[in-house]
Amino acid sequence: MPGHPASRSTDDASGDGEVWARAAWSVVAEPGDATAGAVVAALGAPAALAWALWAVTTTPDHALARLRRLVARGGADGAELPDDEPGAATGEPGAGSGPWPPSTVRVLARALPRWAPRLADLDPRPALDDLAGRGGTLLVPGRPGWPARLDDLGPAAPLCLWARGDPDLAALTERSVAVVGARAATAYGERVAGDLGAGLAERGVTVVSGGAFGVDVAAHRGALAVGGRTVALLAGGIDRPSPAGNLAVLERLVDDGGALVAESPPGTPPSRARFLQRNRVIAALAGATVVVEAAWRSGALSTAARAAELLRPLGAVPGPVTSMVSVGCHRLLRDAGAVCVTDAAEAAELLAGAEPAPAPAQDDARGAAAGHGTPQAVGRGAHRPDSPAARVLDALLRRRALAAEEVARRAGLAEHEVVATLGLLELAGDVRRTEGTWLPTA
Amino acid sequence: MPGHPASRSTDDASGDGEVWARAAWSVVAEPGDATAGAVVAALGAPAALAWALWAVTTTPDHALARLRRLVARGGADGAELPDDEPGAATGEPGAGSGPWPPSTVRVLARALPRWAPRLADLDPRPALDDLAGRGGTLLVPGRPGWPARLDDLGPAAPLCLWARGDPDLAALTERSVAVVGARAATAYGERVAGDLGAGLAERGVTVVSGGAFGVDVAAHRGALAVGGRTVALLAGGIDRPSPAGNLAVLERLVDDGGALVAESPPGTPPSRARFLQRNRVIAALAGATVVVEAAWRSGALSTAARAAELLRPLGAVPGPVTSMVSVGCHRLLRDAGAVCVTDAAEAAELLAGAEPAPAPAQDDARGAAAGHGTPQAVGRGAHRPDSPAARVLDALLRRRALAAEEVARRAGLAEHEVVATLGLLELAGDVRRTEGTWLPTA
């Protein structure tokens, strides 16, 4: 079969069989296919592809036997096919132990029919040509630009990434925070997402998000508005943003030094399953994840769950408890140990080694807003409420001047202390003396 | 000196010297005066008062010597004067060890002049008469109605409480949650406080709060509206609510079986220092504390800090990050380990032994609001996004019927799996067959 991938040498037209074979695998396997990931890790992408092309023509038992021989002859050490069968470790001697245990046959029995329809007429060239026509790059593990954080996904790591924009996705995302949330965001959510995007960009942190309406696009726009760089992960191909209405901002993102990235080849439509798998890439790619608005059941919560599984710092932005699209964020704060994030400084602080966010300035507006239990706080901020000065000022009356002795009784202070304090307050202009008695000036 | 407290027998007009002397002490000592608390704990209130009346006429050294002799003759064992002098444990042999160490003299040197002006013409009878005239009760430690939780405050525990309404404050607050927050609450904060008050009352939980505008009064009103009982702690006397505009709701609170409580005797005006001390009583009295809205610097945060010190469960209600009066709540969530509380069920859950709040109903409104990554979630909620059914439905096209083989390729599923799934979906009415090809029905 001329032109068939299995018949191509590893020194093909692109000059790189590994890259070509990984592109082919991303055509064959759906995002997050851990069986494909394990075989590719064990044999290398070209040999894994050759094996798969033969394997779909035989039985799972034979496919496994050959896989074992290939691995024994020089495949990567220690790689294992995922063993997700319940009871896999029972019933067969040696099952569940060592690489490629017998139970793997059941994993292959599911994977091979899944791959077969796409292997039958496999040709990644149109997708690669499309990528080249857009000036894009195929990123593969271990090569320059590949973000090592993705390897934390193990066999479920992307086999490759189809990227436009800056090809050094590793450098671009080294200091990055994922800002994710509801498509059906409120004006509040979009404002917060935009502020986070801008504030992170100003701190030199790359924003990572999807390409949806609502929080995603608001975060990108916020970063771009201040000259920042952002990365958008799409659930379909890089030519298939969803919704298409966000094409303009995604193009600008590429022009401004960011990256538009997809795990599936061009032409792949987004689907619910691919959105979920895309979320794992966002969680793995970013140094931390912040959820801005999310309903009780929201895809953003899957991103959050993946981030938590990967031990990535997780933040959630609070909102009104009366807002349905903040329910998911509050759930994360209550149940998932998410950190309460209220501004970009706190979002950046999630990144390891970051400086703690400074306390907000103690400006008058905040001081004046102080409430419960400080009825006369405004204008008397100079004294701690329990200080003698504050207690003396509180004990004075506006309508009747008091003697120091009476002030002492009212304040519960020693008279000598009251006399000394009144003297200081008089110097500060806070009280005035009238024939041996005292009045507040303010 | 006829009528002087020191000359009264312990079998006085009220029939109870301890009660009478504690009332007198609450006239002499400001709320939270731990020195007064320690002496009263050591000698009993009447003997402590007699000692104090003599002590203010002599030197702190003599006062301490006599205190030691009184304690040795039969005062409560192990009680200690607070030792808050830096370096108290140095410079004098034995300083800082044992009850009433020599450094206590410095504590007394500050306390005695503080008490002297009020001891000079001490007479608690007008305050007690005022209380009786209002049908109130003086609650004292260890007597019926005294809430044992207050004893957690140690020597800073209230010496007594001046109360109107239900005299069994212990039973009233056994299951109770403090709902506190900003006076300058927003409409949002007042709504949430009201909802919390009502929801807690419906769960048989007593609301504890202050008597201020904003969150305090909204929480009381919410509970009263559904027939609940609430406790208001005032910073001045029970006749001095602040603001006076809340008198109506506080009267209603008393009429409806709740309680209006003050640590200071009637006639005492509220002051900033007394507000702060009042907050410690709220924190100690309630089984848990929830802060609804609080600015960066807010009295409610002092209540929260006291609750945390007392190891009481602490909750904070999130709000918009753009709201200055939610800054304090978010600070508690970030830095103080406060639990995110979004409704009354979650507030009640803070109480030890409470049932966990149930997950909200998975109604359509919430499902429809789900966002990020689930573009077609509405109307397809029956299938998990990663299920074969969901993947097959996503792979179908509306405008062109597809063969099962093509669906398999698009979905990344085995063809036999697609055929079986299409059959099930056809039975469910989700897809229809057209000459061997398939279309979605919806």
CA distances A405 to A7, A383, A436, B54, B110, Å, are: 104, 22, 11, 20, 16
Domains and CATH numbers, chain B: 10-124 (no CATH), 158-349 (3.40.50.450), 379-440 (1.10.10.10)
Q: Where are the beta strands (DSSP E) in A341-429?
A: 402-403
Q: Which two tokens stand for residue B317?
A: 């209600």
For residue A111, give the chain B residue with the closest CA: B414
Q: How far is B30 from chain A (nearest CA, A)?
A: 6
pLDDT exceeds 70 at position B359: no
Structure tokens at B110: 């500050």
pLDDT value, residue A239: 93
Of B375, B362, B380, B363, nearest to A184 (Cα)?
B375
With CB atoms and an 8 Å threshold, state whether A327 touches B366: yes
* Integer Rg of chain B from CA: 31
The three-state (H, E, C) secondary structure of chain B, written as one string: CCCCHHHCCCCCCCCCHHHHHHHHHHHHCCCCCHHHHHHHHHHCHHHHHHHHHHHCCCCHHHHHHHHHHHHHCCCCCCCCCCCCCCCCCCCCCCCCCCCCCCCHHHHHHHHHHHHHHHHHCCCCHHHHHHHHHCCCEEECCCCCCCCHHHHHHHHHCCCCEEEEECCCHHHHCCCEEEEECCCCCCHHHHHHHHHHHHHHHHCCCEEEECCCCCHHHHHHHHHHHCCCCEEEEECCCCCCCCCHHHHHHHHHHHHCCCEEEECCCCCCCCCHHHHHHHHHHHHHHCCEEEECCCCCCCHHHHHHHHHHHCCCCEEECCCCCCCHHHHHHHHHHHHCCCEECCCHHHHHHCCCCCCCCCCCCCCHHHHHHCCCCCCCCCCCCCCCCCCHHHHHHHHCCCCCCEEHHHHHHHHCCCHHHHHHHHHHHHHCCCEEEECCEEEECC
Q: Which of B221, B181, B214 is nearest to B316 (CA)?
A: B181
Which member of A297, A333, A342 has the closest CB to residue B367? A297
Beta strand residue intervals within A230-341, DSSP E: 230-234, 259-262, 288-291, 314-316, 339-340
Question: Which residues in chain B are closer than 8 Å to A302, comparing Cβ atoms?
Answer: 373
Across the range B362-387, mean pLDDT stands at 43
B15 pLDDT band (50/70/90 cuts)? low
Give the per-residue pLDDT at B430.
85
Cβ within 8 Å, pair A324-B365: yes
Which of A395, A297, A206 has its CA nearest to residue B114?
A395
Matching residue, tokens 């830095």? B335
Report chain B residues whose CB lies below 8 A from the CB of A408.
Answer: 117
Please tell me the distance from the alpha carbon of residue A373 to that of residue B211, in angstroms, as a whole number: 10
To test the contact with chain A by mutation, choose from B290, B372, B386, B391 the residue with the greatest count of A C-beta atoms within 10 A, namely B372
A-B C-beta contacts closer than 8 Å: 300
Q: Which of B72-76, B123-127, B380-384, B404-408 has the highest mean pLDDT?
A: B123-127
Through-space distance between the first and last CA atoms of chain A, rounded to whole angstroms = 96
Task: Decide if B327 and A366 are in contact by the 8 Å CB cutoff.
Answer: yes
Tell me how close the Cα of B299 comes to any Cα of chain A, in angstroms.
5
To the nearest whole angstrom, how far is the Cα of B440 from the nearest Cα of chain A? Answer: 15
* pLDDT of residue B89 exceeding 60: no
* Range of weakest confidence among A290-304, B163-177, B280-294: A290-304
| Residue B363: band (very low, low, confident or very high) from pLDDT cuts 50, 70, 90 | very low
Q: A247 is written with which tokens?
A: 């094409």
B402 phi and psi, to 5 degrees? -115, 145
> What's the pLDDT score for residue B368?
34
**Does B192 contact A322 at a Cβ distance shorter than 8 Å?**
yes
**Choice among B3-12, B70-79, B93-102, B255-264 with the minimum mean pLDDT:** B3-12
Averaging pLDDT over each range in A238-247, A420-429, B265-274, B362-371, which range is the top one?
B265-274
CB burial of residue B435 (10 Å; 0-12, 13-18, 19+): exposed
Taking residues B336-351, report their average pLDDT: 95
What's the pLDDT at B347? 97
pLDDT beyond 90 at B136: yes
Identify which of A295, A394, A411 has the shortest CB distance to residue B370: A295
For A321, the closest of B271, B318, B372 (CB atoms) is B318
Residue ranges of chain A whose pLDDT lies below 70 = 1-15, 75-99, 353-385, 442
- Among A274, A372, A394, the strongest candidate for a mutation testing the B interface, having the largest count of B CBs within 10 A, is A372
- pLDDT for B151: 95
Quick: pLDDT tens for A147-185.
Answer: 999 999 999 999 999 999 999 999 999 999 999 999 999
Nearest to B390 by CA among B375, B380, B403, B399: B380
What pLDDT score was predicted for residue B177? Answer: 98
Interface confidence, given as ipTM, is 0.74
Out of A272, A317, A371, name the one closest to residue B385 (CB): A272
Which residue would you say has higher pLDDT here, A376 or B267? B267
